[in-house]
Amino acid sequence: MHNRGPGFTLAEEKIDDDSKGQKDMRHIMVLNAKGGCGKSTLATNLAVYFAREGRRTCIADYDPQRSSLDWLAVRPADLPAIDGVPGFDEGIRNVPRNTEVLVIDAPARVRGTELNELVRRAETILVPVLPSSIDIKACGHFMSELLEIGKVSRKQARLAVVANRVRENTLIYEELEGYLKDLKVPYIGSLREAQNYVRAYARGLGVLELPEYLAWPDWKQWKPIHEWLGSKRSQP
């Protein structure tokens, strides 16, 4: 049932009751109305980080394209386990109750009431932004809408932005950095454009699970993101 837009069904009205029984579960959402900004890359690598930390982790994939679920389907069985649910079909009603961290991979092109309903499901929201003039302008419009949502304006959800697929020492990256630093939300890190993310996705891995000699520059870029997520600043 997709009659209410991507990722929503009338049955999801039960979600609030379910969430009351999952008070210890942390909900982290990767969100941006602009498509193609790397939400699934961010979501899968976040899930890997928490799973490697020994936390029972699950991904709720709200995007009908199933990028996170397809990644999970090829994940090797000998690596830290990550559960997955099709949020676009089931919401988060079927998330295992012993889940400690739920990473929500939100759909693109979500606005208005649908955006408000999504935001209600998270305490921490990460917004990836690409280094392009189109993405910077789209981010401006989206952040204005996001900051006006009740849960965000009441500081019941914490926001942060991440520059994604960047090429350092380029004019557009400098423009993006300047823009993100001027936002009223934390700018917590930048991730380079690298084939490591393609390699890792194709094998059901995160960049943290690639060999150090290959991925150490990416490990270094993820460190401030992990530190922010581990701080009180990232939770209401």
For 109-163, give the secondary structure using H, E and C: CCCHHHHHHHHCCCCEEEEEECCCHHHHHHHHHHHHHHHHCHHHHCCCCEEEEEE
Tell me the pLDDT band of 22, cut-offs 50, 70 and 90.
low
Tell me the pLDDT band of 34, cut-offs 50, 70 and 90.
confident
Domain hosting residue 108, numbered range: 10-226
The yes-or-no verdict on residue 219 having pLDDT over 70 is yes
The yes-or-no verdict on residue 9 having pLDDT over 60 is no
Whether 4 is in a domain gets the answer: no
Residue 142 belongs to a domain with what CATH number? 3.40.50.300
User: Taking the alpha carbons of 6, 8, 9, 10 in that order, is the dihedral positive or negative?
Assistant: negative
Backbone angles phi, psi at 57, to 5 degrees: -120, 145
Whether 39 is in a domain gets the answer: yes
Number of domains in the chain: 1
pLDDT tens column, 127-165:
999 999 999 999 988 888 888 888 888 888 899 999 999
How far, rounded to the nearest angstrom, does the alpha carbon of residue 85 sit from its chain's CA centroid? 15
Average confidence (pLDDT) over 74-97: 92
User: Taking the alpha carbons of 193, 221, 125, 60 in that order, is the dihedral positive or negative?
Assistant: positive
Whether 231 is in a domain gets the answer: no
Q: What is the mean pLDDT of the chain?
A: 88
Give the global pTM: 0.87
